Amino acid sequence: MALEGDYAQEKTSWVSDQLAKIDETGTTAAVDVAGSKVVLFTYRGPKSGKLHRRPLMRVEHDGAYAAVASLAGAPQNPVWFTAMLRNDEVQVQDGTSVVTGPVREIHGAERDQWWERAVAAYPAYAEYQEKTDRLIPIVLVEPGRA
């Protein structure tokens, strides 16, 4: 089921440009980051109730999608990380396909396995981890899982 409601205004120009291109073409294939594919995560802001859209690197396995909270190796987590986890379900657009599923942060061996997939999909994640003392969190969206 698609999420419905008003969308929050995107404040970052390059993200706004990516969203406009996705909206114009109807597919996430219209944008990339350094040649790597992206998917579009949509979640509801816990304070505003508005929908937020975040294009992030495509890290997918068996229909599940990882959102890597790297913030390019900054010392803090991105704002979307906490906001996304306050949702029961998150929507993911991959190409023209749109799925919705429950969201959770992953830890331990499960996180380690997804971290390997993330670095394979976007090698810069390894550099980002070296730049920060925090363990970069990973959020998993699992369509079809109750």
pLDDT in tens, 7-40: 998 888 999 999 999 999 999 999 999 999 999 9
Strands (E), the chain: 32-33, 36-44, 51-57, 60-61, 64-68, 89-94, 97-106, 138-141
pLDDT tens digits along 34-85: 999 999 999 999 989 999 999 999 999 999 999 999 999 999 999 999 999 9
For 103-141, write each residue's pLDDT tens digit.
999 999 999 999 999 999 999 999 999 999 999 999 999
Its pTM stands at 0.94
Tell me the CA distances in angstroms from 99 to 12, 64, 106, 131, one per residue in order.
25, 10, 20, 33
Q: Where are the domains of the chain?
A: 13-141
Determine whether domain 13-141 maps to CATH 3.40.50.300.
no
Token look-up 């987590």 returns: 77
Treating both helix axes as pointing N-terminal to C-terminal, what angle do 124-131 and 108-121 enclose, rounded to 10 degrees?
120
